[in-house]
Every structure is written in structure tokens, then in C-alpha cells.
Amino acid sequence: MRTETEVELEEPRIDDDGVSGGVPGNIVPGLPGRMTAAIPPRPESSETGVWIGVSAIMMTFAAFTSAMVVRQGASQDWMHFELPRVLYLNTFILLGSSLTLGIARWRFTTLSAALESGSSQGKKLYADGIYWLYVTAALGVLFVAGQLLAWRELVAQGLLLATNPSSSFFYVFTALHGLHLAGGIGGLFYIIHKLGRTNGTARTTGLGAVCVYWHFMDGLWVYLFLLLAMRT
């Protein structure tokens, strides 16, 4: 029977697939006479779930885009109209929200490093991060309000949901995007609440998942805006 010392000094067997003793990762020097498996950090489960949701949303809008192109090519009654000017402002608002969210995430990343090093800047970094999260949420609300103003402008011109296929697709695209963005706003307030309970010290906050979702919604809106500008 091998002694405990012999077991500790035995180097682990490395399989062909890079797995050592059933533990994935690279093998790096550890304690004297031993080897340690270095396991790279895994993304949060919430972030993985968001990527799955983003893929589903992407396929939904791709299907509607295909339907719009086919409908426009097959009809003789397709009507072109000028997009409400507020949509141009809305585009800059949403792009600005991505910037503010990036600042907030950087603040909390810096906060984690400050807490590990014992720096006294923790409170200021936490307050700054929360502030920029609120700014991002406010810009999101402002964007949704701008979309409602765009609808009112179209209604004033007599363009309703069933007026023409082009106006129908406009309402469908903007409504779906607005609903998904409202979900992102709700996610931001949830993260703010969660960070408030832990003062930003929680190891997993879901902030990364919200950032992925929010940036995707920004990119999706730029795509939809260009699509509507060219097709309607």
C-alpha cells in the first residue's frame, strides 16, 4: 500500500485530451513535489443563458426581415414614407447608453480589484458604478418614450398598423424591439438592487449578462433603423 507522501508526490497522469485526473485545464507547478490543474474562469450561468436568448431574438428578427423583403417585392401597394425624426435622436440615445453601461461595468471591475488590494477607493467606485447604471436605465426609458412619440407622429399622418404593409412592419419591428429593451431596463434595476444589498461585493452579480443583452439590443436597433430607412 502506498503511503500518503507517495500519493502526494506522484505526478498526475495527463490524458490525450489534456485532462489530468479528471480535472480539465493546464497543468502548472504547484506546491513542492506536486502539480496543480489551472482551471480557467468560466462565464456566469446567467451570461450563457443570455447568449441563448440573444440567439433566439436574432432568429426572430431575421425571419421578420425575410418576410418584409418578400412582401415588398411581391406587392404593388408598398408605400414609402419618411421616418419620424425622433428616431435619429433615439439612435444616439441608445448608443450613448452603451457607453454609460460600459463605464459602469469598468467601475465595478475596478471596485473588485480595489477590494482585493484593500484600497480606500471602494465607496467612491461603488457610488460611481451605481450612478452610471441609473443613467443607462434612464436613457433606456427615454428611448422607449421616443418610440412612442414616433408612433404618435405616424398616427397623426394617418399611418396606422393596418394602413399599409410598410407601416405594419414598422410598428411590428419597433414594438418588438421596445418590448425587449424594456426587459433590459428591468434587468438593470434588478442588478442595481442586487448590488445595493452587497455594496458591490457579490462575486456573481449578473452585470456581465445584462451588458451582453444591452449591447446586443443597441446593435439590433442600429440594424433595424437602417433597414427601415432603406425599405420604408
Residue ranges and CATH numbers for the domains of the chain are: 4-38 (no CATH), 45-231 (1.20.120.80)
Estimate the crossing angle of helix 122-156 against helix 86-117, to 10 degrees. 170
CA distance 134 to 145: 16
The three grid cell numbers given for residue 136, joined into one nine-digit string: 443607462
Higher local confidence (pLDDT), 44 or 228: 228
pLDDT at 43 over 60: no
CA distance 111 to 4: 42
pLDDT at 204 over 80: no
Q: Are 97 and 140 in contact (CB under 8 A)?
A: yes
Q: What is the pTM of this model?
A: 0.75
Q: b/e per residue, 196-212, with b = 16+ CB within 10 A? A: eeeebeeeebbbbbbbb
Structure confidence by residue, pLDDT tens digits, 120-170: 677 788 888 899 999 999 999 999 999 999 999 999 988 888 888 888 999
Percent of the chain with pLDDT over 70: 74
The three grid cell numbers given for residue 78, joined into one nine-digit string: 408598398
Average pLDDT for the chain? 79
